[in-house]
Structure 1
Amino acid sequence: MTSAVLLRRLLPHRRARTLPSPAAPGELVAKAVGLRVALGGRAVLDGVGIGVRAGEVLALVGPNGAGKSTLLAALAADLAPSAGEVRIGGRPAGDWSAGELALRRAVLPQAAALTFPFPVAEVVRMGRAPWAGTEREDEDEAAVAAAMAATEVEAFAGRPFSALSGGERARVALARVLAQRTGLLLLDEPTAALDLRHQELVLRVCRERAAAGDAVVVVLHDLGLAAAHADRVAVLHGGRIEAAGPPSEVFDAHVLSRVYRQPVEVFPHPRTGVPLVVPVRPGPHRRPASPPLPERDNSPSLTGP
Structure 2
Amino acid sequence: MRGVLRGGRLSRLVPSRPVPPEPAAPGEVLAEAEDLRVRLAGRLILDGVGVHVRAGEVLALVGPNGAGKSTLLGALSADLTPAEGTVRIHGRPTTAWSAPELALRRSVLPQSASLSFPFPVEDVVRMGRAPWAGTEREDEDDAVVAEAMARTEVTAFAGRPFSALSGGERARVALARVLAQQAPLVLLDEPTAALDLRHQELVLRLCRERAAAGDAVVVVLHDLGLAAAYAHRVAVLRGGRVAADGPPSEVFSDALLSEVYDQPVEVLAHPRTGEVLVTPRRVP
TM-score normalised per structure 1: 0.88
Structure 2 distance, partners of 1:42, 1:122, is: 39
The answer for the alignment partner of 1:136 in structure 2 is 137
Structure 2 distance, partners of 1:93, 1:15, is: 20
Q: How many residues in Structure 1 have an aligned counterpart in Structure 2?
A: 271
Structure 2 distance, partners of 1:15, 1:37, is: 33
The answer for the alignment partner of 1:63 in structure 2 is 64
Q: CA deviation at 1:282?
A: 1.1
Q: CA deviation at 1:193?
A: 0.1
Structure 2 distance, partners of 1:210, 1:16, is: 27
SS class of match (2:88): strand
The answer for the alignment partner of 2:37 in structure 1 is 36
- Asked if 1:254 is matched to 2:238, the reply is no
The answer for the alignment partner of 1:20 in structure 2 is 21
More strand by share: 2
The answer for the alignment partner of 2:175 in structure 1 is 174
Q: Can you give the 5+ residue segments of structure 1 that lack an aligned partner in the other structure?
A: 1-12, 284-305
User: Which amino acid is the alignment partner of residue 251 of structure 1?
Assistant: F
Task: Determine if contact 1:54/1:215 at 8 Å carries over to the other structure.
Answer: yes
Task: Determine if contact 1:58/1:218 at 8 Å carries over to the other structure.
Answer: yes
Residues 175 and 14 (structure 1), Cα distance of their counterparts in 2 relative to 1, 3 Å cut: farther
Structure 2 distance, partners of 1:16, 1:180, is: 16
User: 1:1-305, aligned counterparts within 5 Å?
Assistant: 14-283=15-284
Structure 2 distance, partners of 1:278, 1:119, is: 40
Structure 2 distance, partners of 1:76, 1:252, is: 30
Q: Deviations over 1:244-288 (max 9, x none)?
A: 0000000011010000000111111112222111111111xxxxx
User: Which amino acid is the alignment partner of residue 248 of structure 1?
Assistant: S
Q: CA deviation at 1:16?
A: 3.2
Structure 1 distance, partners of 2:15, 2:216, is: 26
SS class of match (1:21): coil
User: Which amino acid is the alignment partner of residue 249 of structure 1?
Assistant: E
Q: CA deviation at 1:15?
A: 3.2
User: Which amino acid is the alignment partner of residue 185 of structure 1?
Assistant: V
SS class of match (2:227): helix
Q: CA deviation at 1:41?
A: 1.7
User: Which amino acid is the alignment partner of residue 25 of structure 2?
Assistant: A
Structure 2 distance, partners of 1:124, 1:273, is: 39
Structure 1 distance, partners of 2:222, 2:20, is: 34
SS class of match (2:250): helix
SS class of match (1:197): helix
Task: Determine if contact 1:25/1:213 at 8 Å carries over to the other structure.
Answer: yes
User: Which amino acid is the alignment partner of residue 70 of structure 1?
Assistant: T
Structure 2 distance, partners of 1:239, 1:274, is: 29
SS class of match (2:204): helix
SS class of match (2:186): strand
User: Which amino acid is the alignment partner of residue 44 of structure 1?
Assistant: I
Structure 2 distance, partners of 1:151, 1:92, is: 32
RMSD: 0.8
Report runs of 4+ in structure 1 exceeding 4 Å deviation: none
SS class of match (1:77): coil
User: Which amino acid is the alignment partner of residue 133 of structure 1?
Assistant: G
The answer for the alignment partner of 1:292 in structure 2 is none
User: Which amino acid is the alignment partner of residue 222 of structure 1?
Assistant: D
Q: Can you give the 5+ residue segments of structure 2 that lack an aligned partner in the other structure?
A: 1-13
Structure 1 distance, partners of 2:272, 2:43, is: 44
Task: Determine if contact 1:14/1:99 at 8 Å carries over to the other structure.
Answer: no
TM-score normalised per structure 2: 0.94
Structure 2 distance, partners of 1:24, 1:272, is: 31
